[in-house]
Chain A
Amino acid sequence: MKLSRLLFFILLLASSRSLHAQMVDLEDESKLYASSKQVNQFFRRFNGEEDEKGNRYYEGDKQYRSTKLRKKYLGILFDASNKGMTDAVKTDFAKNVLDKSLLLDFHGGNWFSEVHTTFTQNGKDQPITLFMALEKDHLGYKWVIQRVYADMFAPYFARDTMKVGKFLHPLSHELDFMNLRKAFINSDSVSQFAAKSFKPDHLSLFLYEIKKGTLKFKTVNEVKFHFFQIDGWYFELAQFNRPGYNTGWLISSLTKLNTLADMDALRKYLYYETK
């Protein structure tokens, strides 16, 4: 399999090299051809919308979204080093995708990005995860911050709802809630007075801290994507910058979702939600 893939790309390269490419050795360049260089290329390869050189196929072209082409590409779109993704699961996924002609749609929703960043607060680095999604706006689309998760905010919301903690008794209203004074004395326990259904919103805090000027952007460390577009499946897309032919944007994790509850549980896990 590996040998045939290598041969495939070397042949492809030999047919595509032009005169001013002489300075770079053949093997190096064949690896670059093999790599899924952009997320855009991952989409096109998944859908069977381009040739081996990256030239786009359009509707009406013979090869456009052909099953044969898609089958060939699907084989190289997985992170081969991840032994957790068994051949059986990958084959099941590919069969499902090809049998039902399922495609990825850039504007189709149900996929989002997880961006690991570093901000600084009072000179200290703080890791913050941004969940980004595409949103339609005016004449086109834009990436927006849909959610945020930050370790620095999490401890402030930790609370144990299982035990009887501190509370405002049910007749507090008759005393004009004068017991609020005692409730707010200890800032550690203040979250116990929030409703059971309360869900901490890190995005609001994040925006607040930035507007206040206490949180400053430093850098992006890592980007990956989560796809729920293929009915009954979830996969993660990550970038692999390493030697060899299995590089670029590849499926790094694949899970079959048997029920809607599976999907909800996975989404919550990805968003660091505890309930």
Chain B
Amino acid sequence: MATYRYTYCTLLLLCLSLTAPLWAQTGEISKERKQAIDSLALEKVRDLSKYISIIGNKKTAFSEANRVMDRAEELFAPGSEMGVSALNRKEVNYYKVRKYFERLMALNYDRVTIQWYDIHYISDLERQPDGRYVGVVTVYQRFEGTSDDGLKYKDTTKKDITIYVERKKTQIAGRTVEFWDVMLGDIRVTETSA
């Protein structure tokens, strides 16, 4: 019993020592925690990039594209939208995420190539009134669509992706474990001439 109490106390202290500097009383996120969250956010953004490439690829079977759309949708917080504008049209058109994917899949090209620039930019995290954190990850995508009759369209778009960061709890083997979760939110898509 004494050994159990000792182990329990050690574990508790370890948890405290691990979390205290990372999660200060003020709600500030430490450098180390921020870097861990950035990695997690980038992982989700890379998943999204991969899914977009698959959905846009004309060789992807319809059923497979639908399955990938389901997976992609799971990355997002409910109600997330894409706000899309072009160089010659400043007006922003708004689409639900699923609708955006469906439009991408239905594009009338025979060949579509979607490539991603290596560059990304991650903002600081800001706390919202509800206690959740929000950030923005910026990535760039190059799109090229070609028709059999030789018509070619290409553009580069900047994607500013909202990320929501939340501390959640889960039960593992009867114990409550806290962890950080990242969800994607609204995405602003701007055609860029840079």
A residues in contact (CB < 8 Å) with B: 16-18, 20-21, 23-24, 28-29, 31-33, 35, 37-38, 40-41, 44, 54, 56, 58, 106, 118, 137-142, 218-222, 241-244, 247
Contact = CB atoms under 8 A, between A and B. Distances in A.
Nearest to B122: A54
B131 A23 contact: no
Contacts of A118: 91
Please report whether the interface of chain B is mostly helix, strand, loop or mixed according to DSSP: strand
B128 A38 contact: no
A141 B126 contact: yes
A142 B192 contact: no
7 contacts: A23-B116, A24-B115, A40-B123, A44-B124, A142-B129, A219-B91, A241-B194
A244 B194 CA distance: 6
Given A54-B122, A139-B128, A241-B192, A32 B117 contact: yes
Interface residues of B, number: 37
Please report whether the interface of chain A is mostly helix, strand, loop or mixed according to DSSP: mixed
Given A118-B91, A241-B87, A241-B192, A138 B118 contact: no
Interface in B91-115: 91-94, 115
B92 A242 contact: no
B190 A139 contact: no
Contact of A221 (B90, B119, B160): B90
B140 to A, nearest CB: 6
Given A40-B136, A219-B92, A241-B194, A141 B119 contact: no
A241 B157 CA distance: 11
A37 B193 CA distance: 13
Contacts of B83: 220
A139 B127 contact: yes
Interface string B163-182: 00000000000000000000
